[in-house]
Structure 1
Amino acid sequence: MSAPKPVLRVACFRHGESAANAGSATDDPASIPLTEAGQQQAFAISRRFTSPPNLIICSPFDRAQQTAAPTLRRFPHTPRETWPIQEFTYLTPAKCAGTSAAQRRPWVEAYWDICDPTLVDGPGAESFTAFVERAQAALKRLATLHSSSDVTVVMFGHGQFFQAMRWLIAPGARVDKAIFMRSFRLIDQRDPIHNGDGFVATFDGHSWLLEQDAQMR
């Protein structure tokens, strides 16, 4: 009987509740902090693991790093890396400074209604095409971590970014950017990745597979 093939297992966790998620006005997308509830969610994530992961990957944004902190404290010898898996910033930050999610809603709806994957709203904003390419690059980079033995990786990031990764992993994923953009918006509204939640994906050296949840064993 042949030995089981080694598997790369990646647990992707959205950050805990942030000040923006709670309705507060914020200035810079990169420096939005967690709320007290978000900190509790971060601690709860750290308790899901029964053994140390091989690698912890984190977005450069503060709320993701704060979410990773309890897990890093629990496993201080686990290597940590920061990857460009930050959230999709499609509205120019200068325009949004000092606004809440409710105040930004008309701009958000207008952006998605236009449905132009090449549109760049202004300085510091990203096109949908560039966003998808970042998600594709992250999956390719993760695939290089597959080795001759099982590997467990934990990623701390953001809802829309992980939604894009999950979509790209799913069987029959469409990569036409205009079609993808419309479908992505619908999926993200109907089945969002909530604060402190996530999913697990596995890679066997050839293909990705989604698991049901992000409970690690």
Structure 2
Amino acid sequence: MSKEVWLIRHGESISNANLPTLHPAKSELTDKGHRESEYLAEAFTRKPDLIVVSPYIRARQTAVPTISRFNPIPVVEWPVYEFSYLHPEKYNGTTGEQRWPEAMAYWQRMDPLEKEGGEGESFAELLARVHALDEQLANTPESFIALFSHGLFLRAYLWMHLSGFREANRHTMERYLNFSRGMPMPNGSILKVRLEADGRLSFSPFDTDHIPEKLGLVDE
């Protein structure tokens, strides 16, 4: 039996808005991000069988209007959190612009096993979590799943399926970086995926039609 999975990127966070962040897991939504979350809830034309959320607060906040709209509905937490490759302390009170030199240095080293500063997540660990998501989706009986996650993680999922790469090495890390930089995934966007029983995957373009602000229809 095939499954439909909506892979949803969280709404705009304070980190996305280049405001100071305390921790990669604690970047909350901006006012705009909360509006995007409301638009997301209205994008559903039928009730999901299951809602999956990342443990990071911005993804959980994004899911709240959808959970409220369809309550009662099963909600589970899976490890679909963002790829946070820098040491968490480097987020404390810094903006994305201030962290950029550290991020560039990390990618220039291209070490798939590096845990930056001893506590950042390695590229190999990211791919392991993507593998785990495949297994969780395959073993979950629900046929319509809404999954609230993050840009780098969801790009890794899409890249792995499009490229066929599974091993974490310097070559695949470089290929993933190029893919993620060339694949825009706006805040609040939906990637609608169909998983066939034989493991085949089909998907639509990133959908933002439900967000008027992205269409210039709502004044800031």
| TM-score past 0.5 threshold | yes
How big is the shift at 1:203? 1.6
Q: Which runs of no fewer than 5 residues in structure 1 stay unpaired?
A: 1-5
1:188 is aligned to 2:180? yes
State which of 161, 176, 186 in structure 1 corresponds to 2:167.
Answer: 176
How big is the shift at 1:155? 0.2
Query: What's the CA shift string for 1:22-70, capped at 9, x where partnerless?
Result: 0101111111110011111111111111111000000000000000000
- 3-state SS of paired residue (2:5): strand
How big is the shift at 1:123? 4.2
The 5-angstrom pairing of residues 30-49 of structure 1 reads 30-49=25-44
Q: Please report the RMSD computed on the Cα atoms of aligned residues, expressed in angstroms.
A: 1.4
Counterparts of 2:47 and 2:177 in 1: how far apart (Å)?
35
The 5-angstrom pairing of residues 105-120 of structure 1 reads 105-120=100-115
The 5-angstrom pairing of residues 94-113 of structure 1 reads 94-113=89-108
1:201 is aligned to 2:193? yes
Counterparts of 2:41 and 2:18 in 1: how far apart (Å)?
26
Query: TM (normalized to structure 2)?
Result: 0.89
Counterparts of 1:56 and 1:214 in 2: how far apart (Å)?
19
Query: TM (normalized to structure 1)?
Result: 0.90
1:125 is aligned to 2:120? yes
The 5-angstrom pairing of residues 1-217 of structure 1 reads 6-146=1-141, 151-170=143-162, 172-177=163-168, 178-213=170-205
- 3-state SS of paired residue (1:104): helix
- 3-state SS of paired residue (1:29): coil
Asked if structure 2 preserves the Cα contact closer than 8 Å seen for 1:11 and 1:214, the reply is no
Counterparts of 2:36 and 2:80 in 1: how far apart (Å)?
20
- 3-state SS of paired residue (1:30): coil
Q: Which runs of no fewer than 5 residues in structure 2 stay unpaired?
A: 208-220
Using CA pairs below 8 Å that are at least 6 residues apart, which structure has the higher relative contact order? Answer: 1
Amino acid at match of 1:29: P
Counterparts of 1:95 and 1:16 in 2: how far apart (Å)?
23
How big is the shift at 1:187? 1.2
Moved over 4 A (4+): none
Asked if structure 2 preserves the Cα contact closer than 8 Å seen for 1:13 and 1:214, the reply is no
